[in-house]
Amino acid sequence: MNNSSVKIIGLSVAVLMGLFAVMLVLKERPAQAAGTMNCGCHPNKASKTFAHQPVKDGECTSCHKATELKHPKFKKGAFTLTDNGKAGLCNECHERKDTKKFVHGPVGSGDCLECHDVHQSDNKYQLKEAGAALCFMCHEKASFDRKFPHPPISEGKCLGCHDPHQSDNKYMLKGAGSSLCMKCHDKAMFTGKSTHAPVAAGECASCHATHGTQYPKLLKKSFPEDFYASFDKSQYELCFNCHSATLADDQRTGAETNFRNGMFNLHFVHVNKASKGRSCKVCHDPHASSQPKLISDKISGFGRWRIPIRYTKNEVGGTCVVGCHKPKSYDRNDPVINP
């Protein structure tokens, strides 16, 4: 053979090999196109604002494991998903979400995809819904409709208090007892020289319902909103749930209360009036105070003026100075004349 025949044969072989290679490429096209966000043929799986990292990276086969059935010829059975796409698949790359004491229902059953889209979403963390709407896919929205809802609830911030997956606290709460509340509220409001026993015990829930109630200030039972109230025990249900309602019942009293001058009941005098009875909060802070017996150091006065109260207590009674008035004293054993 001469040189040119060799060249022609060589060229033909090269062309054939080239063609063969092209055919191979065509045949294997979807596989070759792995590494794109549509795997060659599928609609783009990472076109939304938040796409799962391995999807964005075109690593479809890190989850969709090819079987011996060739795709795309076979549509069914060409790929498998570890654990049928349930938590077992996620756990291949993520830390387990079901190791703490209290695990959320759908997390425990491995149904991560009830809340997350595995490929992409317009919500952060590829969530199927944003804010409280996610929770209301399964929890009844109507049961959160309260006359006075806690502001984070009305703002849809369920995650201010709950972890969506798990926690060592009951109800997947982000803190136990009052430490949950202190994530957003100022601790100073709940500490002082005298601290109300249930507050000191971290039992905010003995007076407040966290999601909201039919009463103002998330209170579980009635308590007057205003400074003055015409006396009716049912208005003070909150306090009388734990304290005896008799403390303001009678004009003359012995053991019912220590706030008395001799037998003269000073709770009765201040509280038990048909009109302009003073609410407990005129004198007591329901949480804590820098003075004994939860006596507030200021009372809401007129407009923005807060009237200072100075209260001193002794073994048998006490003395109170309100604003610039003269001191007033009471004594249980030896009643003060013109107190």
Which residues in 46-65 contact ligand HEC (CB under 6 A)? 52-55, 58-60, 62-64
- Burial grade of 283 (CB within 10 A; 0-12, 13-18, 19 or more): buried
Amino acid at 58: G
Task: Point out which span in 11-19, 25-33, 70-78, 251-259 binds ligand HEC (CB under 6 A).
Answer: 251-259
Separation between Cα atoms, residue 184 and residue 87, nearest integer Å:
33
| Among 313, 319, 331, 336, contact with ligand HEC (rule: CB under 6 A) | 313
Nearer to ligand HEC, 203 or 297 (CB): 203
Output the smallest distance, CB 277 to ligand HEC, in A. 8
Instruction: Please count the other Cβ atoms lying within 10 Å of the Cβ belonging to residue 150.
Output: 20
CB environment 23-44: b (16+ within 10 A), e (fewer): eeeeeeebbeeeeebebeeeee
Return the residues of window 107-126 that contact ligand HEC according to CB under 6 A: 107, 111-116, 118-119, 125-126
Nearer to ligand HEC, 13 or 133 (CB): 133
Site size with ligand HEC, rule: CB under 6 A? 117
Output the smallest distance, CB 79 to ligand HEC, in A. 8
How far is CA 20 from each of CA 27, 28, 78, 208, 294, rounded to the nearest angstrom? 10, 12, 25, 77, 91
Nearer to ligand HEC, 19 or 129 (CB): 129
Nearer to ligand HEC, 68 or 226 (CB): 226
Residue among 283, 276, 274 at smallest CA distance from 318:
283
Give long-range contacts, CB 8 A cutoff, 24+ apart: 60-66. 60/34, 61/34, 62/93, 63/89, 63/118
Nearer to ligand HEC, 13 or 184 (CB): 184
- Site for ligand HEC contains 309 (CB under 6 A): no
Return the residues of window 218-237 that contact ligand HEC according to CB under 6 A: 218-219, 223, 236
Return the residues of window 163-202 that contact ligand HEC according to CB under 6 A: 164-165, 170-173, 178, 180-181, 183-185, 190, 194, 196-199
Separation between Cα atoms, residue 26 and residue 23, nearest integer Å:
5
Nearer to ligand HEC, 23 or 242 (CB): 242
Output the smallest distance, CB 68 to ligand HEC, in A. 19
| SS3 label, residue 36 | strand
| Among 146, 250, 258, 307, contact with ligand HEC (rule: CB under 6 A) | 258
| Among 10, 72, 77, 216, contact with ligand HEC (rule: CB under 6 A) | 216
Is residue 314 a contact partner of residue 306, using CB atoms and an 8 Å limit?
A: no
Task: Point out which span in 3-11, 15-23, 24-32, 206-214 binds ligand HEC (CB under 6 A).
Answer: 206-214
Output the smallest distance, CB 125 to ligand HEC, in A. 4
Output the smallest distance, CB 23 to ligand HEC, in A. 24
How far is CA 208 from each of CA 203, 217, 222, rounded to the nearest angstrom? 9, 8, 11
Is residue 332 a contact partner of residue 339, using CB atoms and an 8 Å limit?
A: no
Is residue 296 a contact partner of residue 196, using CB atoms and an 8 Å limit?
A: no
Show the site string, 265-284: x = touches ligand HEC by CB under 6 A, - = not.
--x--xx------x-xxxxx
Return the residues of window 76-105 that contact ligand HEC according to CB under 6 A: 81, 85, 87, 89-90, 92-94, 97, 102, 104-105
Backbone angles phi, psi at 322, to 5 degrees: -105, 120
